[in-house]
Structure 1
Amino acid sequence: MNRSRFPSRQIILVTGAARSGKSEWAETLATQTGKSVVYVATATIDPSDSQWQARIEKHRLRRPAEWQTLQVPIELAATFEAATPPQCLLVDSLGTWVANLLDRDETTWENIAFELLDRLQQAAVDIILVAEETGWGVVPAYPSGRLFRDRLGDLVRQIGAIADSVYLVVGGHVLNLTLLGKPLKNSKLSSQGN
Structure 2
Amino acid sequence: MQPHNLPSSKGRTLLTDHRISLVTGPARSGKSEWAETLAATSGQSVIYIATSNVDPADLDWQKRVELHRDRRPTHWQLQEVPVALPEAVLSATAQDCLLIDSLGTWLANLLEQDDDTWQTTVNSLVESLRQTPSTVVLVSEETGWGVVPAYPIGRLFRDRLGTLTRQVGTVAGAVYLVVAGYAVDVKALGRGVGE
Normalising by structure 1, we get a TM-score of 0.90
Contact 1:9 1:125 in 2 (8 A): no
Residue 98 (structure 2) pairs with residue 89 (structure 1): yes
Distance 1:184 1:36 in 2: 34
Q: Percent same amino acid among aligned pairs?
A: 55
In the alignment, which residue of structure 2 is the partner of 1:124? 133
- Counterpart code for 1:137: G
In the TM superposition, residue 185 of structure 1 has moved relative to its aligned partner by: 2.9
Partner SS for 1:174:
strand
Q: CA deviation at 1:85?
A: 2.0
CA distance in 1, matches of 2:94, 2:127: 18
Give 3-state SS (helix, strand or coil) of 1:89's partner.
strand
Distance in 2 of aligned mates of 1:59 and 1:168: 19
Counterpart residue identity of residue 35, structure 2 = A
Question: Where does structure 2 lack aligned partners over 5 or more consecutive residues?
Answer: 1-16
1:53 pairs with 2:62: yes
Q: 1:159 and 2:144 equivalent?
A: no
Residues 1:105 and 2:149 are matched in the alignment = no
**Pick from 128, 133, 136: which aligns with 2:142?**
133
Which residue, out of 64, 70, 78, partners 2:73?
A: 64
- How far apart are residue 184 of structure 1 and its match? 1.6
Match of 2:8 in 1: none
User: Does the aligned pair in 2 maintain the 1:9–1:124 contact within 8 Å?
Assistant: no
**1:18-60 Cα distance to aligned partner (Å, 9 max, x none):** 0000000000000111100000000111111111001001100
The 5-angstrom pairing of residues 19-38 of structure 1 reads 19-38=28-47
Q: What's the CA shift for 1:84?
A: 1.0
What is the TM-score normalised by the length of structure 2? 0.89
Residues 32 and 101, structure 2, Cα contact 8 Å, conserved in 1:
yes
Query: Structure 1, residues 123-155: CA drift from partner, whole Å, max 9, x if none?
Result: 110000000000000111100000000110001
Deviation at 1:181, TM superposition (A): 1.1
How many equivalent residue pairs?
A: 179
Native 8 Å contact 1:41 1:71 kept in 2: yes
Runs of 4+, deviation exceeding 3 Å: none
What amino acid maps onto 2:142 in structure 1?
E
Query: Could you tell me how far 1:9 is from its partner in structure 2?
Result: 6.6
Cα RMSD (Å)? 1.1
Q: Aligned equivalents of 2:55 and 2:119: distance in 1?
A: 28
CA distance in 1, matches of 2:37, 2:194: 30
